Amino acid sequence: MAIEAIKGVKTLAELASEYQVHPNQISDWKKQLLSNAPDLFASGKKKQAQTEEELTAPLYEEIGRLKMDVKWLEKKL
């Protein structure tokens, strides 16, 4: 709703009646979004990068273990 309020396609009264929320609440959300927007989008990218690294590290470890197992089995055969 805050994004819709920023776009200005509909008035606060129209948005309030559509979503059954008080217009003051929508204007508060709009102010919060405008003041915190750079932090919201910047931190999301950092969190995503950390989780991606956290997900790939164990997979690379597993690949290394499996390669070692394959080499060991080739020597035994």
pTM summary value:
0.49
pLDDT at residue 12, as a whole number: 84
CA distance 40 to 48: 12
CB 2 within 8 A of CB 30: yes
Confidence of residue 64 (pLDDT cuts 50, 70, 90): very high
What pLDDT digit, counting tens, does each position of 3-62 carry? 787 888 888 888 888 889 898 988 898 888 888 877 776 755 566 666 788 888 889 999
Contacts of 63 (CB under 8 A, 6+ apart): none
CA angle 65, 67, 72 (to 5 degrees): 95
Which H, E and C letters describe 17-31, residue by residue? Answer: HHHCCCHHHHHHHHH
